[in-house]
Structure 1
């Protein structure tokens, strides 16, 4: 999916009319949806509850936005900028692929015990902890499978099953709408702000980093 996203994004530089470019960006958005979910979920598989807020809060989005403002300053043609930036994620992760382990929890739930044990042992050694013995690991697997067998599956309409859930869902939907309108309203209209467009974009990206630090002190409740 990451490769497809890069290929489609690269093709945007050759769009003959804006309608084609809009269609390409639509496809980019479709592919990015799955990627963004993985970016949040996958790293949290390797940390305990204490560190999950840090993993969820900090991402490469803000540093990448700062880098984009620097690249855009030196590459003024938008087509050239698109051709430079869109292949980067795929090339970057091709080099990192062998260093990115599969989720141990996922491996255990699919009976790939040896692979999971190898990864967990490596994590334990890296954290200077005693690795789990095989019996303890198998007991954990059985407990997780028992829990999974009894877990009730929910659908999207369950978010509106009770008045309380409906209220929470609507509040979150409204919150996401306001956040998106504010964030993208500023980001996509940075040219309308007074001052240099590149400096303004960099400042907005840096401000987002500051907000991440603020969340660390207010996010745990």
Structure 2
């Protein structure tokens, strides 16, 4: 459901307002979860938070890759994922010192209201502005970015060449809907393939992340290892996707993650060290493939559909 919210809101309202609304809702639902007086409120607020979190993360990922040119999209996409991994690790430190789950949740969510400052500093996607024929705003954004990056304002010819670049957004007067993902048989097959990859990656990734305690040993150490292994995974992935291509990289990492998880789950509990090692290796494979599918999804659809 959150995916349909992302599609509709990004098409109609743009990346910036979708992100700002999603982050404020996510924080508010998180605080409501921490303060929930009973199980019903807890379940509802946590479910709503999960709904908007999907919208939040995918929107800011899309905004990030659209800030740069096509040749730099993979670096921008992986940059977002690196910070996700850093957050994965530092949350363990907070959890270690704050054992009460309500206090822990409040310590995480209350400071996140500072993201409201982004209302004043976060620009809209240049490519989305072009796709909606908001040319004047796109030109203004180009000038602002140029002044920030090289401390000089581009001339009219430079701006015109950027706007008319064939790699930029296709201008469209209409608002696209989720139905455009299956408008033709070819696009339907592409969408089905992408969705299946998301399904598999999501199940394996979060299955491993949420089963850190099931590996035995120290929960905090297991969770830290599961987060830390993502950093070399992303580094290896960003190197390979340009060397051997997206499809081979995605397939290879998914096979690595799958085989490692199957073997880890088949071992005797006495081989605890090997179980954890293979589980971490499986997390490395699925983390790499997960971030590749983000990049692939952003690349296979045009801006007006992205």
Q: Same fold (TM over 0.5)?
A: yes
Q: Check conservation: 1:160, 1:169, Cα contact below 8 A.
A: no
Which of 128, 131, 139 matches 2:150? 128
Which of 43, 60, 74 matches 2:97? 74
What is the total number of aligned residue pairs between the two structures? 217
Superposition pairs for residues 45-124 of structure 1, below 5 Å? 45-59=66-80, 60-91=83-114, 93-107=115-129, 109-113=133-137, 116-124=138-146
Note if 1:210 corresponds to 2:232: yes
User: Considering only aligned residues, what root-mean-square deviation do their CA atoms show, in Å?
Assistant: 3.2
Structure scoring higher RCO (CA < 8 A, sep ≥ 6) equals 1
Q: Check conservation: 1:45, 1:104, Cα contact below 8 A.
A: yes
Give the whole-Å Cα distance in 2 for the aligned partners of 1:203 and 1:126: 38
Give the whole-Å Cα distance in 1 for the aligned partners of 2:177 and 2:148: 37
Which of 27, 34, 39 matches 1:6? 27
Q: Scaled by the length of structure 2, what TM-score is found?
A: 0.61
Gaps of 5+ in 2: 1-20, 246-306
Which of 199, 203, 221 matches 1:177? 199
Change (3 A) 1:24 1:154: closer
Gaps of 5+ in 1: none
Q: Scaled by the length of structure 1, what TM-score is found?
A: 0.81
Give the whole-Å Cα distance in 2 for the aligned partners of 1:207 and 1:139: 42
Q: What are the superposed Cα offsets for residues 155-214 of structure 1, whole Å, 9 maximum, x if unpaired?
A: 43653732x544443333222222111111111121111221111111111111221112
**How far 1:17 moved relative to its partner?**
2.9
Runs of 4 or more above 6 Å deviation:
none
Q: What are the superposed Cα offsets for residues 105-130 of structure 1, whole Å, 9 maximum, x if unpaired?
A: 455632444xx445423433444386
Give the whole-Å Cα distance in 1 for the aligned partners of 2:55 and 2:37: 28
Give the whole-Å Cα distance in 2 for the aligned partners of 1:105 and 1:78: 41
Q: Check conservation: 2:92, 2:224, Cα contact below 8 A.
A: yes
